[in-house]
């Protein structure tokens, strides 16, 4: 005999179904930035510079005591997304209480230059530097949101890991996407490997934001590492001159050595020894990556990073376009993947490259013909992003030539 549900149970069941359906179809939070009033502690730029959605514009305060910005809204604010141009050593996210007093909601997280904070429906917020002495604070963009699900493009990063399986070392923001983007997507998203991306230089604060936007669009959620070196194009076109103009061979190779020791990657992947289209700083980074393969394992080199992290033996080092087919792995980036929403790795890389707004119109002239940078032209046709050579190994040669993690013990596919 079929049992009858009592009315209370029916109500409870219906409520549960409605709650589940509501959770599954929760509306995306509205971007209410445009209706907010933003005030700045110094007025050398208009507030519109940081609320226009354009990461190429910014505001930076004068050097002053306790720089701040306030965000006020007639509607409740449920999320605040800060994209720093100049991040102070300490900052607070506060809300204004009745009587004009400020209550601290968050001690600012300085690990990430793009940082999202949930807000409990307050209408008056402040970002404030509590430190004594004069300092500066700046933003490329800020966003305020109403109630609902956080939009997918709002970044909530995972910290740089204490140990990574694979390190992808690029020179500038956008080099990672042009030449390494599809292999990063393959291992970081399709294969769900623990990967980290590092840049020798952020180039400038706008391009740092573009790097973060590009990696996020690619699908990577681990915050990258940014070196503090200058972005230079050495002339004459020699690696030695590039080392000199970047800060010195010892400093550059020491930074890469420390990166290996700190992150302890099993595999490192970097750019072309010939600099793809000949960029001397690309050549220098590839050269430093190769040198650090031995330097990081040598207890007699770079004692400062040795004291902090000890030595580390990278198991395999791959260089873009290096070597002969016997030394290379080759991938097919034209196959749609469910993990990429049906896109191919190259299609996802192209979407990620579109986040590098300042590079629109940039390119190279070859035989008198100018070609703009794009994944299709520079990452597929001219400098194939699916070919990498095994430059150095401590675990023997590749046999299958289709997996950079081949022969690495303790890593299951």
pLDDT tens for the chain, 413 residues long, are 334 444 444 444 445 544 454 444 579 999 999 999 999 998 666 899 999 999 999 999 999 999 999 999 999 999 999 999 999 999 999 999 988 999 999 999 999 999 999 999 999 999 999 999 999 999 999 999 999 999 999 999 999 999 999 999 999 999 999 999 999 999 999 999 999 999 999 999 999 999 999 999 999 999 999 999 999 998 877 899 999 999 999 999 999 999 999 999 999 999 999 999 999 999 999 999 999 999 999 999 999 999 999 999 999 999 999 999 989 999 999 999 999 999 999 999 999 999 999 998 999 988 889 999 999 999 999 999 999 999 999 999 999 999 999 999 887 65
Q: Where in the chain is the domain with CATH 2.60.120.260?
A: 33-145
Domain 33-145, what fold?
Jelly Rolls (2.60.120)
Long-range contacts of 395-403 (CB under 8 A, 24+ apart): 395/315, 395/316, 397/326, 397/327, 398/327, 398/329, 401/325, 401/328, 401/329, 401/330, 402/329, 402/330, 402/331, 403/329
From CA 317, how far away is CA 40, in angstroms rounded?
48
Res 410: pLDDT? 82
Q: Where in the chain is the domain with CATH 3.40.50.10320?
A: 166-393
From CA 258, how far away is CA 309, in angstroms rounded?
8
Cα separations in angstroms, 181 against 105, 155, 282:
37, 19, 16
Res 181: pLDDT? 98
Query: Could you tell me the two tokens for 272?
Result: 């072309």
Q: Cis peptide before 236, with omega less than 30 degrees from 0?
A: yes
From CA 167, how far away is CA 265, in angstroms rounded?
6
Pairing mode of beta strands 102-107, 64-65: unpaired
Q: Which CATH code fits 166-393? A: 3.40.50.10320
pTM: 0.92
Residue with tokens 């192209």, as numbered in its chain: 350
From CA 327, how far away is CA 222, in angstroms rounded?
30
Res 44: pLDDT? 63
């Amino acid at each position: 005999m079929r049992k009858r549900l009592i009315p209370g149970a029916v109500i409870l069941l219906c409520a549960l179904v409605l709650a589940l359906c509501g959770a599954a179809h929760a509306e995306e939070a509205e971007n209410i930035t445009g209706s907010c009033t933003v005030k700045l502690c110094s007025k050398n730029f208009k507030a519109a510079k940081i609320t226009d959605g354009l990461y190429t514009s910014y505001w930076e305060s004068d050097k002053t005591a306790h720089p701040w910005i306030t965000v006020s809204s007639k509607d409740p604010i449920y999320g605040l997304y800060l994209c720093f141009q100049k991040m102070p050593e300490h900052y607070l996210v506060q809300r204004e209480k009745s009587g004009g007093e400020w209550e601290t909601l968050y001690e600012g997280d300085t690990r990430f230059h793009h940082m999202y904070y949930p807000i409990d429906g307050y209408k008056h917020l402040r970002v404030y530097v509590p430190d004594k002495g004069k300092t500066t604070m700046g933003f490329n963009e800020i966003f305020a949101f109403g109630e609902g699900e956080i939009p997918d493009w709002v970044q909530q990063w995972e910290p740089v890991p204490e140990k990574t399986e694979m390190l992808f070392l690029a020179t500038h923001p956008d080099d990672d996407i042009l030449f390494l983007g599809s292999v990063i997507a393959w291992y970081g998203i399709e294969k769900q490997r623990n990967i980290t991306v590092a840049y020798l230089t952020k180039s400038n604060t706008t391009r740092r934001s573009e790097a973060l936007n590009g990696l996020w669009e690619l699908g990577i959620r681990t915050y990258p590492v940014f070196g503090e070196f200058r972005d230079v194009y050495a002339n004459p076109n020699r690696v030695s001159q590039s080392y000199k103009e970047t800060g010195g061979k010892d400093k550059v190779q020491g930074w890469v050595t420390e990166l290996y020791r700190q992150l302890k990657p099993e595999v490192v992947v970097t750019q072309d020894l010939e600099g793809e289209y000949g960029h001397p700083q690309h050549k220098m980074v590839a050269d430093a990556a190769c040198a650090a393969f031995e330097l990081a394992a040598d207890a007699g080199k770079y004692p400062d990073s040795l004291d902090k992290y000890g030595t580390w033996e990278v198991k395999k080092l791959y260089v873009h376009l290096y070597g002969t087919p016997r030394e290379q792995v080759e991938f097919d980036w034209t196959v749609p993947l469910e993990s990429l929403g049906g896109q191919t790795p190259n299609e996802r890389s192209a979407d990620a490259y579109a986040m590098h707004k300042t590079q629109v119109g940039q390119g190279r002239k070859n035989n008198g013909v100018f070609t703009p940078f794009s994944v299709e032209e520079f990452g597929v046709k001219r400098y194939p992003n699916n070919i990498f050579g095994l430059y150095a190994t401590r675990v023997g040669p590749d046999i299958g030539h289709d997996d950079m993690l081949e022969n690495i013990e303790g890593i299951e596919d």
